[in-house]
């Protein structure tokens, strides 16, 4: 009976030790990206960078996959610009970190959205490669135009407002086309200014003006717009253009 008890205890101890060893091998790596959602804003032709921190909250060191444009699944105009995260490098467990610097370098104005995936694994994981995902949102600044706002006016009253267009980009911009207000029959007209087809706005703050006339023909508020297209001088790429918004508060006689 005593020998049977000893054999039972020995077997139980071996099982316990094996379980503890197995548990020690069952740690994992868990990478997260901070910030999880980043916003970039840059004039066309310039570049803006954001630094992300990759943190490993798991117990095992994470082995990084490719830290490249393709490896991170990055699409232009986003790109890898630096950081301490490296292809094949490791991120220590229990809070280890590395940094990833991404750049936004737009050649066309407007909103750009994207994402990136930092792939990783760990020694003896026996699982497929995992990925830590970050979201990207960016705004590329082309020509900037304020809303043209007309105060309360009586029917038949005439008023001219001036809108100043500004070019914040690294490239000069040449005006290619100007569309008249889409509701000319209700009183809006473009009547002058320095912005004209062929006019070139210098880079880094160049401006031109648009004179807008409004003569209310009906009672009440009214909104309209006029479309502009332009081409960047230097790369000679066509931008999508922009809209000059026109607004009248209306008049209640």
Q: Which two tokens stand for residue 143?
A: 């020509």
Report which of residues 41 and 243 the model is more confident about. Answer: 41
**Cα of 196 vs its chain's centroid, Å:** 31
| Unique residue bearing structure tokens 């006019």 | 199
DSSP states of 142-167 as a string? -SB---EEE----TT--EEEEEEEEE
Mean pLDDT of the chain: 84
pLDDT given at position 237: 73
pLDDT given at position 80: 97
For the residues 14-33, what does the mean pLDDT come to?
58
pTM of the complete model: 0.74
pLDDT given at position 240: 64
For the residues 8-16, what does the mean pLDDT come to?
42
**Cα of 166 vs its chain's centroid, Å:** 22
Domains annotated for the chain, with CATH where assigned, are 27-141 (2.60.40.10), 148-248 (2.60.40.10)
pLDDT digits (tens, 9 = 90+) for 131-150: 999 999 999 888 888 889 98
Cα separation, 210 vs 196, in Å, equals 9
pLDDT band (50, 70, 90) for residue 14: very low
Is residue 249 a contact partner of residue 150, using CB atoms and an 8 Å limit?
Answer: yes
Task: Inform me whether the pLDDT recorded for 175 exceeds 90.
Answer: yes
DSSP states of 64-118 as a string? E---STTTTT--TTEEEEE-S--TT-EE-TTTEEEEEEEEE--SS-EEEEEEEEE
pLDDT given at position 221: 84
Q: How many CB atoms lie within 10 A of CB 127?
A: 9
Cα separation, 161 vs 50, in Å, equals 39
For the residues 33-55, what does the mean pLDDT come to?
94
Task: Inform me whether the pLDDT recorded for 11 exceeds 50.
Answer: no
Sequence-distant (≥ 6) Cβ neighbours of residue 49 within 8 angstroms: 81, 82, 101, 102, 103, 104
pLDDT digits (tens, 9 = 90+) for 72-123: 999 999 999 999 999 999 999 999 999 999 999 998 888 899 999 999 998 7
Task: Inform me whether the pLDDT recorded for 223 exceeds 70.
Answer: yes
pLDDT band (50, 70, 90) for residue 47: very high
Task: Inform me whether the pLDDT recorded for 124 exceeds 60.
Answer: yes
Question: What percentage of the chain has pLDDT greater than the value 90?
Answer: 55
Question: What percentage of the chain has pLDDT greater than the value 70?
Answer: 85
Cα separation, 74 vs 103, in Å, equals 11
Long-range contacts of 156-159 (CB under 8 A, 24+ apart): 156/215, 156/216, 156/217, 157/215, 157/216, 158/213, 158/214, 158/215, 159/213, 159/214, 159/215
pLDDT given at position 173: 92
pLDDT given at position 126: 64
| Coil/strand/helix, residue 17 | helix
Report which of residues 248 and 83 the model is more confident about. Answer: 83
């Amino acid at each position: 009976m005593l020998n049977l008890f000893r054999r039972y205890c020995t077997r139980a101890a071996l099982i316990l030790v094996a379980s503890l060893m197995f548990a020690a091998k069952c740690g994992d790596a868990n990478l997260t990206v901070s910030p999880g959602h980043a916003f970039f804003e840059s004039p066309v032709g310039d570049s803006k960078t954001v630094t992300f921190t990759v943190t490993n909250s798991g117990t095992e060191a994470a082995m990084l996959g490719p830290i490249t444009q393709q490896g991170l699944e990055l699409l232009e105009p986003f790109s890898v610009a630096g950081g301490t995260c490296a292809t094949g490098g490791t991120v220590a467990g229990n809070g280890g970190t590395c940094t990833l610097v991404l750049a936004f370098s737009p050649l066309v104005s407007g909103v750009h959205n994207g994402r990136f995936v930092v792939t990783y694994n760990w020694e003896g994981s026996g699982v497929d490669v995992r990925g830590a995902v970050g979201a990207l949102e960016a705004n590329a600044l082309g020509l900037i135009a304020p809303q043209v706002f007309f105060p309360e006016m009586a029917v038949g009253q005439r008023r001219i407002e001036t809108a100043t267009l500004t070019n914040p980009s690294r490239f000069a911009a040449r005006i290619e086309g100007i569309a008249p207000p889409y509701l000319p029959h209700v009183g809006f007209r473009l009547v002058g200014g320095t912005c004209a087809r062929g006019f070139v706005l210098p880079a880094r703050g160049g401006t031109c003006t648009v004179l807008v006339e409004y003569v209310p023909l009906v009672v009440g508020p009214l909104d309209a717009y006029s479309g502009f297209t332009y081409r960047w001088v230097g790369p000679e790429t066509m931008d999508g253009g922009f809209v000059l918004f026109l607004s009248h508060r209306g008049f209640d006689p």
